Amino acid sequence: MTTEVFRAGYIAIVGRPNVGKSTLLNHLLEQKISITSRKPQTTRNNVMGIKTTESTQMIFVDTPGIHLGQDKAINRFMNKSATTALVDVDAVVFVVDKQHWTPEDEHVLQHVMQAKCKIILAINKVDQLDDTHALLPHVQMLNEKLAHAEILPISALRNTNLDTLEALIKDALPESDQFYPEDQITNKSSRFLASEIVREKITRQLGAELPYQMAVEIEQYTQTNTLLTIHALILVEREGQKRILIGDKGNKLKTIGSAAREDMELLFDSKVLLKLWVKVKSGWSDDERALKSLGYTD
């Protein structure tokens, strides 16, 4: 009787903004770790998600969308985080759209081509296609651009072909002991996850009204036997942005807080008392020192 060898390794999930990288990570883990929204550049930090089975430990790194055309310090930080994740990984999952190929995809491709490991080109959102035959020209074009990659149509949202994706990833991982305890699912702290939940709810509530220049800082995180108390400071760059975020008689901020608290109680398995404040801090998104104080560090 042969015993299956244990494999463990790191997998970078990369792509341009808004192609579904964070949704893919959450569905692979079967638990929400990365925040999601329809707004590009929702993910700002590399977020590690760990999936351990009887024979494998897959350590996924969800990255910010690699993008062009913006050169504030926050944009440089996001692009650097994403591209450095490609170094010393065992596999890369390059997520692209079901039909569209953009200059930003081409920019990501130039970085992916430098990776010294297995590359899986995941064509996402194929559940939105009325006719799967429409995918064939896109697959052919992608094959010409990255001939040595494995190409796999998927739907992260509908779990389509995710078992196949995991099998391809497992084949790329080396024989190794596990790196993390089997019950650990991320490397991020509870404070970080709390701040990301608040930021997600702001993004989803305000949509097109929301400025990119918004950040969340957890000022208090205190757990007692029955209650988790969280105080979160929301930073914006202008008074007008503050007014939009608070809303008429504070109704927008109350809605954001209520939605965030519900998610936090599920994630932390505790009753949560959440208090939100909004503060104007002009120019924080282009200030290296301010970014470091908010946790945007290598």
User: Of 22-31, 61-70, 189-198, which gets the smallest average pLDDT?
Assistant: 61-70
Q: 7-172 and 190-293 share one CATH topology?
A: no
pLDDT at 29 over 90: yes
**Greatest extent of the chain over all pairs of C-alpha atoms, in Å:** 69
Please tell me the predicted confidence (pLDDT) of residue 174.
96
**∠ Cα 185 77 155 (to 5°):** 50
Mean residue pLDDT of the chain comes to: 87
The lowest-confidence range among 18-32, 81-95, 112-126 is 81-95
Assigned CATH topology for domain 7-172: Rossmann fold (3.40.50)
Beta bridge partners of 278: 234
What is the structure's pLDDT at 214?
82
Please give the pLDDT value at position 223.
95
Q: Count Cβ atoms within 10 A of the Cβ of residue 194 and give its class: 0-12 exposed, 13-18 middle, 19 or more buried.
A: buried
In contact, 23 and 157? CB cutoff 8 Å: yes
Domain boundaries, given as residue ranges, for the chain: 7-172, 190-293
Contact 9, 59 (CB under 8 A): yes
Residue 70 has pLDDT above 70, yes or no: no
* Percent of the residues in the chain that have a pLDDT greater than 90, as a whole number: 60
Q: What is the pLDDT of residue 86?
A: 85
> pTM for the complete prediction?
0.84
Look at residues 260, 296, 49 and name the one whose alpha carbon lies nearest to residue 156.
Answer: 49
Say which CATH topology domain 190-293 has: GMP Synthetase; Chain A, domain 3 (3.30.300)
Q: For residue 208, what pLDDT band results from cuts at 50, 70 and 90? A: low
pLDDT digits (tens, 9 = 90+) for 238-294: 898 899 999 999 999 999 999 999 999 999 999 999 999 999 988 777 777 766 666
pLDDT-based confidence at 87, cuts 50/70/90? Answer: confident
In the prediction, which pLDDT does 40 show? 57
The whole-number pLDDT of residue 243 equals 92
How many CB atoms are located within 10 Å of the residue 223 CB?
A: 13
Band the pLDDT of 203: cuts 50, 70, 90.
confident
| Whole-number pLDDT of residue 211 | 54
> For the residues 116-145, what does the mean pLDDT come to?
92
Please state the φ and ψ torsions of residue 175, each to the nearest 5 degrees: -65, 130
More confident residue, 22 or 207: 22
Structure confidence by residue, pLDDT tens digits, 144-202:
999 999 999 999 999 999 999 999 999 999 999 999 999 999 988 899 899 989 989 99
- Is residue 72 over pLDDT 90? no
Q: What is the pLDDT of residue 27?
A: 95
